[in-house]
Chain A
Amino acid sequence: MELNNSSLPEMYSKGLLEEFNKNLSPHWTGNVFETLFTGAAKLLGAAKTQDRPVAFVVQKLNKEFAIAAIIQYFEGKDKDKVGNWSLVWTFNESDIPENAERILLTDPRSHTYFISYAGEKFGIRFKSDENLITTLTYVPVCIKKWLDENAKEKEEVTLELKDVFVARVAVENGEKVFAIEATGESTFVAKGDASIEK
């Protein structure tokens, strides 16, 4: 299901108002979601290092884990061959490698990437750091909530924002299994070109 054809924009707008007293028309949902994914990719593209994985982590306001994006370098099989960068999004905190450097959305140093992307692409300016954190934190919360409410037995349900992300839920042995991956521009923004960087 394409995000803009789903009930998610209404759910996002209503939730922001009811839970956080933030007024934002559903019209802006896709733009805010894209800001989180592409802004995070730009942040990881700038912060990545071949020495260890780097994880961008979004926590709910109660500090509960919401989502993370992890960038990691894998050496080439032969010494003279360049390796690959991997960018993974996950709803499971246990997927973050122990040696990963963590960058939280609440860290003001990360905000510049979201502010510049939202401003340049959509003309959006957050009214405060608190608004930025709340609206972006609520993105993965809402994606997971939508998947949870729309999960079906024996059928994988997908939610897609074209060229930004695809999220999935499947019911396996009676348990809902959630997955999410970035698509489009954000993937190569984060990875860059390993052969140039080496």
Chain B
Amino acid sequence: MDIKPLEVSVKRAAVNNSLYYVYTYEEFCKYGIDDQGSAVISERDGKKFVLPVKGEYDNQVSPGIYDAGCINIEIFPDKALESNYIPDKIIQISNKDQIKTVLDKEKTIARLSEPWITSPDNITFFPISEDDHPEMVAMKTAFNEKGIDFDKYASRFGANFPNDKRQMKNDSLTLNMIKRFCDKTDIEAILILKDKGPDVPNPIGREISVSLTEDYTD
């Protein structure tokens, strides 16, 4: 008897700097998917969003799909963050694909998981997430406004460049990393210490400003 092999396929997409297995809403409900590395395609105002699976609903506001008993709750991103949840592409890999096709798709998926976007003219753009701490927002904004090909600075960072660059995947940066990034990309970082307000007890009474990058050494 000729039994045709079962076709198994998975879809992957990167949104908000993370890589997810992607399902339709029907698949998500049918298979009871609750793995937090999963996401669901959902349409709103004609746009296709990929919403991460977030578990049980408890008044959260972060974009995603939440379990609320016999219903699910979808929270879509605000307009300003919409692009973080609309993937550039959704890659589908099937066991029926040729091996070369699988390898090509795997490479594409690996690139999807990078938190930065490189334009055709090699300008690196770091999307800002709502979870980013202020120092990360400042660092990403500075890099984005410089409009550089980040990889061209690799020699300045040395052998540790891939690890350094991966720090931009996080939502916060240590002071040491800020110093290192700024120093290697010709940015001066200034730390200012001052009173929080005019009425604080034991005021400093002035601003203390120091450059973190002036005498920086690795």
Chain A interface (Cβ < 8 Å from any Cβ of B): 16, 22-25, 28, 118-120, 122-128, 131, 134-135
Docked-complex contact A22 and B68, CB < 8 angstroms: no
CA–CA, A124 to B208, complex, Å? 52
Given contacts A24-B68, A25-B68, A25-B69, contact A123 B74 (CB under 8 A): yes
How many residue pairs link A and B with beta carbons under 8 A? The number is 44
B73 part of interface (Cβ distance < 8 Å): yes
Docked-complex contact A127 and B70, CB < 8 angstroms: yes
A16 contacts across to B, CB distance below 8 A: 70
Docked-complex contact A126 and B74, CB < 8 angstroms: no
CA–CA, A126 to B71, complex, Å? 5
Give chain B interface residues in 45-88, CB to chain A under 8 Å: 65, 68-76
B190 contacts across to A, CB distance below 8 A: none
Docked-complex contact B68 and A126, CB < 8 angstroms: no
Whole-angstrom distance between the Cβ of B214 and the nearest chain A Cβ: 50
Docked-complex contact B70 and A125, CB < 8 angstroms: no
Docked-complex contact A127 and B71, CB < 8 angstroms: yes
Given contacts A125-B25, A127-B29, A128-B29, contact A24 B74 (CB under 8 A): no
Docked-complex contact B68 and A28, CB < 8 angstroms: yes
Docked-complex contact B75 and A135, CB < 8 angstroms: no
B76 contacts across to A, CB distance below 8 A: 123
- Candidate in A22, A119, A120, A127 with the most chain B CB atoms within 10 angstroms: A127
Docked-complex contact B73 and A126, CB < 8 angstroms: no
CA–CA, A33 to B57, complex, Å? 20
CA–CA, A39 to B76, complex, Å? 21
Docked-complex contact B73 and A124, CB < 8 angstroms: yes
A125 contacts across to B, CB distance below 8 A: 25, 65, 71-74
Whole-angstrom distance between the Cβ of A66 and the nearest chain B Cβ: 19
